[in-house]
């Protein structure tokens, strides 16, 4: 028998697949509402009973779902916020992205080890050319970003000092999860999502859905080429972790130029512990950034070093209860 940590790591690929499929076919949504045996779930959801049974046995063994003494499977209240597709903390969108996109890029690591990342990437399309290749992929990616960002943003917004800000530019703000959380909590604030042109219709949908006409708008731009709109506050959510220190510094210097005096920059990202031995999701996504982008995850001290190099002062670190943390830099 393998030691427990190794066992979970080795067999994790099967659990990831099973969680993704159970989410995709509505199994978790069904089990959040009632406990049921395999045959009933298969019947109600129109799924093959034999395959479903093997997936459920595996998910029970991993402790993802539970089974009662009558042999009915259930989602415990502890797991429901993460498995219920209606919950803002559901892992479903993230896993769709992992299984639909990231998994196809992981085999590149082999070539990275032997030939180096730049040699392998030279023959590949740029990451966002792939992610925005079809409307389905675009929608899946933006849904995953919404899930990763909206809920935690409601924790980060009160720490960001937005009551001192009139206008916010969210660079690479996706379909607007951070902006919406900021606008909901801060009367009088206006926000702009600065994004690739492909994202504009999704921001328009967000404006419509949340009734944010006149408060949330869109600015098309390429952050590698263009300057940012003038503002009091520039936000980067899961952006700097996609890029090298050199590009990160260029982006922060653009933010400095865009910011009014007394303005601020918000870096919202995963943080490595100071010794870079965890947390585990940061270590995992640090590898993911290597195949999906050109970046890496950083410690708070590394972010502060970049902020200070760009001219920001009085940097602050604020932590949420989730994976995304906040580092603020101020412009004098």
Contact residues: ligand SAM, CB under 6 A: 128, 145, 148-149, 172-174, 177-178, 195-196, 199, 221-224, 237-239, 242
Closest distance to ligand SAM from the beta carbon of 118 (Å): 18
Is the Cβ of residue 145 or residue 180 nearer to ligand SAM in the bound state?
A: 145
| 175 in Cβ contact with 205 (< 8 Å) | yes
Buried b (16+ CB within 10 A) or exposed e, 160-197: bebeebeebbbbbbbbbbbbbbbbeebeebbbbbbbee
Is the Cβ of residue 52 or residue 289 nearer to ligand SAM in the bound state?
A: 289
Closest distance to ligand SAM from the beta carbon of 163 (Å): 21
Is the Cβ of residue 157 or residue 174 nearer to ligand SAM in the bound state?
A: 174
Is the Cβ of residue 175 or residue 186 nearer to ligand SAM in the bound state?
A: 175
Is the Cβ of residue 308 or residue 323 nearer to ligand SAM in the bound state?
A: 323
User: Could you give the strand order of the β-sheet that contains 325-330, starting from the edge strand earlier in sequence?
Assistant: 216-220, 190-195, 167-171, 231-237, 259-269, 325-330, 313-318
Closest CA to 165 of 133, 187, 197, 193: 187
Closest distance to ligand SAM from the beta carbon of 218 (Å): 11
Instruction: Report the phi/psi class of residue 31: left, alpha or beta, with left for phi > 0 and alpha for psi in -120 to 50.
Output: alpha
User: Helix, strand, coil shares of the chain as percentages rounded to 5?
Assistant: 55, 15, 30
The alpha helices in 106-192, defined as continuous H runs, are: 108-115, 117-121, 127-131, 135-156, 177-185
Is the Cβ of residue 112 or residue 128 nearer to ligand SAM in the bound state?
A: 128
Tokens of 120: 């392998």
Q: What is the rounded distance in angstroms from the CA atom of residue 291 to the CA atom of residue 184?
A: 35
Tokens of 18: 């099973």
Closest distance to ligand SAM from the beta carbon of 144 (Å): 9
Closest distance to ligand SAM from the beta carbon of 283 (Å): 18
Q: Which residues is 193 bridged to in the sheet?
A: 170, 218
Is the Cβ of residue 58 or residue 181 nearer to ligand SAM in the bound state?
A: 181
Closest distance to ligand SAM from the beta carbon of 173 (Å): 5
């Amino acid at each position: 028998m393998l030691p427990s940590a190794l066992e979970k790591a080795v067999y994790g690929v099967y659990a990831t697949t099973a969680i993704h499929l159970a989410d995709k076919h509505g199994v978790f949504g069904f089990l959040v509402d009632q406990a049921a045996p395999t045959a009933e779930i298969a019947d109600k959801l129109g799924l093959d009973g034999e395959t479903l049974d093997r997936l459920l046995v595996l998910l029970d063994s991993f402790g993802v779902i539970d089974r009662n003494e009558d042999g009915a499977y259930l989602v415990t209240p502890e797991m429901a916020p993460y498995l219920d597709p209606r919950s803002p903390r559901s892992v479903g969108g993230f896993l769709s992205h992992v299984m639909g996109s990231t998994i196809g890029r992981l085999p590149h690591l082999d070539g990275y080890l032997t030939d180096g990342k730049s040699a392998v990437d030279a023959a590949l399309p740029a990451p966002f050319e792939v992610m925005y290749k079809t409307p389905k992929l675009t929608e899946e990616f933006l849904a995953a970003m919404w899930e990763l960002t909206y809920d935690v943003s409601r924790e980060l917004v009160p720490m960001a000092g937005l009551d001192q800000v009139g206008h916010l530019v969210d660079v690479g703000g996706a379909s607007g999860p951070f902006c919406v959380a900021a606008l909901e909590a801060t009367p009088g604030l206006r926000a702009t999502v600065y994004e690739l042109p492909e994202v504009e219709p999704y921001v328009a949908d967000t404006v419509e859905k949340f009734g944010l006409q006149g408060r949330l708008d869109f600015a098309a731009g390429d952050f590698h080429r263009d300057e940012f709109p003038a503002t009091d506050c520039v936000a980067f959510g899961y952006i700097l972790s996609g890029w090298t220190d050199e590009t990160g510094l260029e982006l922060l210097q653009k933010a400095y130029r865009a910011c009014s005096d007394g303005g601020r920059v918000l870096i919202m990202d995963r943080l490595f512990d100071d010794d870079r031995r965890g947390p585990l999701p940061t270590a995992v996504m640090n590898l993911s950034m290597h195949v999906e982008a050109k970046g890496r995850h950083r410690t708070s001290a590394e972010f502060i070093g970049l902020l200070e190099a760009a001219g920001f002062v009085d940097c602050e670190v604020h932590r949420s209860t989730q994976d995304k943390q906040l580092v603020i830099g101020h412009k004098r």
